[in-house]
Amino acid sequence: MTGTPEKPDPAPLDEGEIDLSETQFDADIVPSFKRGVEAIKAHWRHAPLGPGVYRMIGADGEVLYVGKARSLRKRVASYLRSGGHTSRIARMISLTTSMVFVSTETETEALLLETNYIKQMKPRFNVLMRDDKSFPYIFLGRDHPAPQIAKHRGARDRKGDYFGPFASVWAVNRTLNALERAFLLRSCTDSYFANRTRPCLLYQIKRCSAPCTCEISTQDYAKLVGEARDFLSGKSRAVRDLLAREMTEASDRLDYESAARLRDRIAALSAIQGAQGINPKSVEEADVFAIAEEAGQFAIEVFFFRTYQNWGNRAYFPRADRTMGEAEVLDAFLAQFYADRPVPRAILLSHEIEDREVLEKALCERMGHRIEISVPQRGEKKDLVEHAAQNARETLSRKLSEGASQEKLLAALASAFGLEEAPRRIEVYDNSHIMGTNAVGAMIVAGAAGFMKAHYRTFNIKDEDLTPGDDYGMMREVLRRRFTRLIKEEAKDEMGDAFPQRPDLVIIDGGQGQFDAASAVLAELGIKDIPIVAIAKGLDRDAGRETFFVPGREPFRLSPRDPALYFIERLRDEAHRFAIGTHRARRKKAFTKSPLDEIAGIGPARKRALLNAFGTAKAISRAALSDLEKVAGINATTAKLVYDFFHGEGG
């Protein structure tokens, strides 16, 4: 009699390994989900036990998600359950075909690596910042006898002090204008300063003390610089008290002109602090974050406090799945926010985050000083967080309200052009050139959230066979390049709530000819389901008298009071603005192009040395080889290269 064979004893588990031999899958689980689990399981046994970063990869090599873990093997095992996942995680598992692991020494290193991967790869299932612009600062130099005060953005490669960050260019410009009136510091460049022979207009309107022409002594200018540095460092009360004493003394000795100047400087300082709104008494340096959620959308408001002063606030609308919680989104956002920005000593949050200790340690190691992340429960710090939270809620409400209005305009557009439903993505095309020169095509994109500037594109016209000024040919080239690329990329599976890459409506700035050219390109590429509309300007280019060309209909106009008409005019004007701006930038670049740019091996430093020695490219072309060799920084080989280029032997 033969019995049922016994199951072999399972292999011993490694330390930290989870036994999945009993994992069962329900019969009604989606097949793609089961395939994803099997793909993850195949990689799971090779996952490191220690900390690191993992990437979940789709069928076409797309990075779907980047995550970190204290134990990669334990974390990956959590994806192998047959249930209990949110729709976002379940969809991510369904699309996963492979995984990549990177081990790190510590969880802190894993956090930093995860952040870098997210910023580089922009995985669709991660929270993304979207707006990653750097913040402006105020720079006060220490590299010149008469230091400059100026707006600064980017690398800090000049010797001096950097004050900020300011939430916007508007905020820093407003503060700079007031500081110039208060301290009369120069804002001009060093080269402009060195070539002045008489004071400029800023001296006449009392916004500069004109150290360039010695209208003020070096010692007195240094005193102004010291006062400005003290004010920006948080000693604003001391500076104002000093100016008040000097004003009183000037008044007592009947020097009313000096007293009036000091009065104006004090008023300028008061204007700075008055415009900053809430200024804390006990918080010297902190960033305050508060998050709000409504209708599946998130808003994060950030306030910047430095030297007991409010340097403004900025709102962010991160891309995140609607199933995620506020604390989870804020947690993911913070690591990206500080990836390449200076960090204050205190970070105040509206929600407790899971990775607080790890993020604290990572930021401390990077900045070299102690950083505290906290959720204040009482006092002035709590008031600051509540103020930020109120701003976040109001900002999100405004955005949702604007989105609702935009939805109505999109619906009106669908009605005007006979579309089955409101378009999610609209692309508008325009060309710009002057007699065919520096020709560019421009594409702007709009949707329910308004203008989607991250999706704007420009096209340098490359077809050398085109007749200069052939607008139809330019439009054909632009559309052919755009939609040929789209066809190649359409194999990618997009998230249901992501902004689509395929337009639901194409609008062309032009008449019947442009319409026919655009229609022919799409037909040539086999695209039949994207409607095209062309807009011909009215007589004398009058707004409101545009003629529209739509497939299957006679040309028509819309009522001057139709909201769809106003919306279309906004779209067309934005496309025109973008095209003109791109054309002007290209034209300016062409004007400033030098023959030296075409010589291999002549970089900016050598180009500058040659121009400083000879003045113009024309003079360089006429120079003898022996004269070229005498230029500082130009060796004999480089001199021969330049000489041969201009004399027909090298170019």
- Where residue 579 sits, what CATH number does that domain have? 3.30.420.340
| DSSP element (H, E) containing 242 | helix 236-252
CATH value at residue 633: 1.10.150.20
Provide, for the chain, the percentages of residues in helix, strand and coil under a 3-state DSSP scheme, each rounded to the nearest 5: 45, 15, 40
pLDDT of residue 57: 92
**Long-range contacts from 453-460, C-beta under 8 angstroms, 24+ separation:** 454/130, 455/499, 456/578, 457/482, 458/578, 458/582, 460/586
> Which pLDDT band, with edges at 50, 70 and 90, does 67 fall under?
very high
Cα 467 to Cα 352: distance, rounded to the nearest angstrom: 63
Cα 375 to Cα 66: distance, rounded to the nearest angstrom: 27
Domain-located, residue 495: no
Share of the chain above pLDDT 90, in %: 17
Cα 191 to Cα 229: distance, rounded to the nearest angstrom: 23
Domain-located, residue 24: no
Please tell me the total count of domains within the chain. Answer: 5
Is residue 301 predicted with pLDDT exceeding 50?
yes
For the residues 465-469, what does the mean pLDDT come to?
69
In terms of domains, do 607 and 526 share one? no
Is residue 330 predicted with pLDDT exceeding 90?
yes
Distances, alpha carbon 62 to alpha carbons 113, 122, 125, 404, 538, in Å: 18, 10, 11, 33, 47
Domain that holds residue 206: 137-275
16-20, 255-259, 357-361, 582-586: the lowest-pLDDT one: 16-20
Asked whether 321 and 297 are in contact (CB, 8 A), the reply is no
* Secondary structure (3-state) at 340: coil
Cα 312 to Cα 496: distance, rounded to the nearest angstrom: 36
pLDDT of residue 588: 63
In terms of domains, do 582 and 599 share one? no
Cα 86 to Cα 142: distance, rounded to the nearest angstrom: 55
In terms of domains, do 429 and 572 share one? yes
Among 227, 250, 275, the domain-final residue is: 275
> Which pLDDT band, with edges at 50, 70 and 90, does 445 fall under?
very high
Cα 503 to Cα 444: distance, rounded to the nearest angstrom: 11
- Side-chain half-sphere of 71: how many Cα atoms within 13 Å? 11
In terms of domains, do 581 and 434 share one? yes
Domain-located, residue 308: yes
217-231, 373-387, 462-476: the lowest-pLDDT one: 462-476
Is residue 6 predicted with pLDDT exceeding 50?
no
Cα 231 to Cα 208: distance, rounded to the nearest angstrom: 17
pLDDT of residue 334: 92
Q: Angle, to 10 degrees, between the axis of helix 326-337 and the axis of helix 356-367?
A: 10
115-129, 552-566, 576-590: the lowest-pLDDT one: 576-590
Domain-located, residue 239: yes
In terms of domains, do 76 and 109 share one? yes
Q: What is the pLDDT of residues 123-164, one digit of tens each?
A: 989 998 877 677 788 888 888 889 998 888 877 788 888 887
More confident residue, 126 or 496: 126
Is residue 259 predicted with pLDDT exceeding 80?
no
The pTM score is 0.63
Task: Give the CA-trace dihedral at 173, 178, 180, 182, to 10 degrees.
Answer: -160
Structure tokens at 362: 């990572």
Is residue 72 predicted with pLDDT exceeding 80?
yes
Domain-located, residue 304: yes
Is residue 270 predicted with pLDDT exceeding 70?
no
